[in-house]
Structure 1
């Protein structure tokens, strides 16, 4: 069996190519929509802030997904690839919701659509030749392209599963308990990465679309950014280095953020009568993002507890070796040597196939 370098196989290259092509097409569709609307309306008006937020959110999502895919291939992490598939599903939902939200932002009842001579008739009415009819095809193409790329990604991830499925063996050996502990560690690190995106997505929508700079909630949201980012980085460091005191603080802060910020405070603000109007054009997307962020944070907390219980049980050397020493790949010219003479640097003695040489 050969160990291929990053992007050294057809499956890896075509998986990344699928994501790259999809990202280009989606950003072009969103960019065209943004330009067409920008020619007719002012984005400084609160009702039209949905579109620049939509563009920024999808630009962030596509860059994040490309980074996560490259990182998963680099680490040979099949769990992270499955996470990318789930993240892609969330993108499909978000893109589909955006069609409805953009229509609500444009067709807002501010114009008498029964009078063709009314000002802004072709901007704020759903009639032939109107702005909405022009941008609707571009908005619909976006979720369709993302859905098609998701099906193609499933095929390539199936190929990559066969390619990467044995990689954990070379890191932790054949012990089933150690393998299970390492898999929980991988899930926790993967969840922390996705926590970062969804927190950033909710914050971006609140700051761009909803909140006034003079409001108390704007200040609270700004203040929460370094706290949450510090929490995520601290949790990642704690679980990797098995720092008990830091992991304890991270778990307590996760529970507090989950109870106050995500579930009670934000979701109630979206729907309570005193504040629901300011979330009118983004309520659906914000609700989806907030619920997903809550579920991810709850999952991170739960898996974090399991990882905490695995501290000091012999997994630390594998974590540190996996994160700090990447294998160098080369093909040995001598295929007739004794298998016992070829040891894995990952496991300090795990026997590998005769033609593998890992330095």
Structure 2
């Protein structure tokens, strides 16, 4: 039985094609040409978030197929559900941003901040409604192909860690950790983008602190990924401690709802709340899984972590009745013959 190369099967090609077509349709729908001003910059932020989300999802899909990572595929399904929720929430937020009551629509003709024929709200509303419908339809198609990929990728995991259930379980926790780190990146950037575009004034100290936090968090995520893969204990310890410190970012929720600052977040309160809570849950989950992965250090999994990140076609021959198992060719042993046993790398 062979482990197929990237995009060599119908299920892999169909999965990528589904995400690509959905991304093209969604980005075409949400691209609205409006001035970037204080009153209605929710729309440019909405476009920026969806552009980031669609590109991120497509890259995650290619990465999951490259790594034969079923857990990451399931994470993409959950992420896609979050996109549906975000698209639905943006309908109300966009209406709040445009029809904000700052203009007396009974005496003034204003096609930007008033409802009515020819208004901006009437123009963008159909597109805002279609977007979650398209994303939801793509989600059902993705579910079908992920089911096919689940069966296809089961053999690939065997080639990384062998048949030992304990090793397989440890490798799955490692895959979960890497997947969480990738989603941590997106939701942190999503929260930061909304704060910088919509809420924070450039002259404030909070704006500077938020900008400065971007490289710090990105470096943290990269170092944590390296530490868990290479099993570097001191670096993993620093990463876990910094995760606990970063969880203090939850204080943003207080800023969103306290009376002194709640008006600043009026047009993005719902989405920013969702992003902040999800980011905190993911960060806390990453910390917990990181502890679990830390406990698996020095237990014989490091070689599989380092060498199992890419796959080439592997041909195996099982002689069940003869009691022998040999590999004719393998990407992890340089093509040399193995002893008649299942090895755990």
TM-score, scaled to structure 2: 0.92
Where does residue 313 of structure 2 map in the other structure?
A: 329
- Structure 1 residue 130: Cα displacement: 2.6
Alignment of 1:255-334 (within 5 A): 255-258=244-247, 260-261=248-249, 263=250, 265-323=251-309, 326-329=310-313
- Cα distance in 1, alignment partners of residues 227 and 11 from structure 2: 34
Say if 1:111 and 1:119, in contact at 8 Å, map to a contact too.
Answer: no
- Cα distance in 1, alignment partners of residues 64 and 21 from structure 2: 18
Say if 1:29 and 1:139, in contact at 8 Å, map to a contact too.
Answer: yes
SS of 2:39's partner is: helix
Say if 2:314 and 2:331, in contact at 8 Å, map to a contact too.
Answer: no
- Structure 1 residue 208: Cα displacement: 0.9
SS of 1:123's partner is: coil
SS of 1:48's partner is: coil
- Cα distance in 1, alignment partners of residues 286 and 276 from structure 2: 15
1:104 aligned to 2:96? yes
- Structure 1 residue 167: Cα displacement: 1.6
Alignment of 1:118-129 (within 5 A): 118-120=108-110, 122-129=111-118
1:169 aligned to 2:158? yes
- Structure 1 residue 227: Cα displacement: 1.0
CA distances 1:223-260 after superposition (whole Å, capped 9, x unpaired): 111111111011001000000011001101101111x1
- Structure 1 residue 135: Cα displacement: 1.3
Alignment of 1:1-359 (within 5 A): 1-31=1-31, 34-35=32-33, 38=34, 42-44=35-37, 46-115=38-107, 118-120=108-110, 122-258=111-247, 260-261=248-249, 263=250, 265-323=251-309, 326-329=310-313, 339-340=325-326, 342=328, 344-346=330-332, 349=338
Q: Which runs of 5+ in 2 are unaligned?
A: none
Q: How many residues align?
A: 335
Describe the shift of the 1:164–1:312 C-alpha distance in structure 2 as closer, same or farther (beyond 3 A). Answer: same
Describe the shift of the 1:350–1:187 C-alpha distance in structure 2 as closer, same or farther (beyond 3 A). Answer: farther
- Cα distance in 2, alignment partners of residues 341 and 52 from structure 1: 55
Say if 1:182 and 1:315, in contact at 8 Å, map to a contact too.
Answer: yes
Cα RMSD, aligned residues only: 2.2
- Cα distance in 2, alignment partners of residues 66 and 342 from structure 1: 35
- Structure 1 residue 127: Cα displacement: 2.7
Describe the shift of the 1:331–1:318 C-alpha distance in structure 2 as closer, same or farther (beyond 3 A). Answer: closer
Q: Which runs of 5+ in 1 are unaligned?
A: 353-359
- Runs of 4 or more above 3 Å deviation: 343-352
- Structure 1 residue 113: Cα displacement: 3.1
Describe the shift of the 1:312–1:229 C-alpha distance in structure 2 as closer, same or farther (beyond 3 A). Answer: same
Say if 1:98 and 1:285, in contact at 8 Å, map to a contact too.
Answer: yes
Say if 2:3 and 2:312, in contact at 8 Å, map to a contact too.
Answer: no
- Structure 1 residue 331: Cα displacement: 6.6
**Which deviates more from structure 2 when the two are superposed, residues 160-169 or residues 243-252?**
160-169
TM-score, scaled to structure 1: 0.88
- Cα distance in 2, alignment partners of residues 205 and 350 from structure 1: 57
- Structure 1 residue 111: Cα displacement: 2.5
- Cα distance in 2, alignment partners of residues 341 and 179 from structure 1: 20
Describe the shift of the 1:288–1:341 C-alpha distance in structure 2 as closer, same or farther (beyond 3 A). Answer: closer
